[in-house]
Each structure stands twice: as structure tokens, then as C-alpha cells.
Structure 1
Amino acid sequence: MKPIYPDDGDGDREAVPGPPRDPDGAVDTPPRTLDVDGQTFALRRNECDGTDYTWLSGPNPGYGFGASPTLGLSLDQHRKNIRDFLAMVDPATGRIEDD
């Protein structure tokens, strides 16, 4: 079966769909989850070529942090970012407290 393209041309056979975009044109990539030391985080790329880390297993829904730039970081580097965050969290409140 021959593929059909809107312009009846051959098209680019190597083309792949790009990442989904929201109505404003920003990349809308689905989050990926990462478990670190028994804690689960959702990682989502943000508009600053960084990462938003949401603490899914934490006591405060939606709580987390962001880091930028993070393009090209390995999973071990993302784990380090998460461990650094967890080291600052007050165990009594589940939040980073101001001094």
C-alpha cells in the first residue's frame, strides 16, 4: 500500500511527529516519573529549557521545585537535583522552610 500525502507528493519518509503543543504553541510533553530514595517525582520540561519536578509522594499535593537549564541531564543528574531538594525539606512540614 502506498502512503498518500495531502499534496500527492512523496513527502518526507523520515519525518516523525513533533512533541505535542498546547494552544499557545509551547511544547506540552507528558511528565515522566522518577523514584528516588523511596520518593516519587514527576518530571516535566518547562518553557525555559528546564525541568519542573513535582513531588508526587510528598505530603503537599503539587509541591516541588524547578531547575534550569536541564537539557541533556542524565537520570543520575536529575536524581541528584531531587536529593538536593529533599535534603532541604523540613520533615515535620514537608516543605522548605524560610530561616
Structure 2
Amino acid sequence: MGQWAYKVVYVDYRGRISCEGTETLIGNERRSAFVRRYFDSIGREGWELASNQPLTSNSAYYVFKRPAQDGDYAEETPPAASEATPATPPPTSTEGGSSPTIENV
């Protein structure tokens, strides 16, 4: 089975598309034409719509995929928040009574 590369596109139907740090703003055209033009451009690069996640009535995430190509994995993925090393809590003192319990969440 082949490997896939993914592209996540945020669409705000009020006039903005955001993908991998690049913002595309609507010009002087209808909203549906604006989104179709953008999707056509990434379709020409081989991206195929895999799923979408509506957020509000005016915005959604769209996930595109294509067979992995050279350079698709050039950037190192940052660790997820749950994988980050937890900070060490400050030392607590028990002198003069009880001290509060410190919990790492």
C-alpha cells in the first residue's frame, strides 16, 4: 500500500482561505467561484478531496490527499501536546504546616 501526503485547507466562506500559512482572500467574485477556483488549482497539483469538517455555517476544514511525492515530508512534524515533556513542578516545602498539592495536568 502506498503512502499519502495530506493538505488541510480552512475555508471561511465570508472571503478567506488559509492553507499551510498562506492566506488567499476573495477578489471581486462570487464566494462559490472563489472556492471552486482555489480547489481547481490544488486539483491540478494532484490533490483529491478526502474529507471535510464543517465548523460553522460559514467555515469548514477540507482535507485533501495525494500519493506521496519527493519533498512532501521535508518538514519535521512538531510533537503533539501530550508528547511534550511535562514541566517539573517547583519544590514544595512542608515546613510550618501542610503545603498545597501540585498536580500536572
- Scaled by the length of structure 1, what TM-score is found? 0.23
The structure that has the greater radius of gyration is: 2
Q: Which has the higher contact order (CA 8 A, sep 6+)?
A: 2
Q: Which has the higher strand share?
A: 2
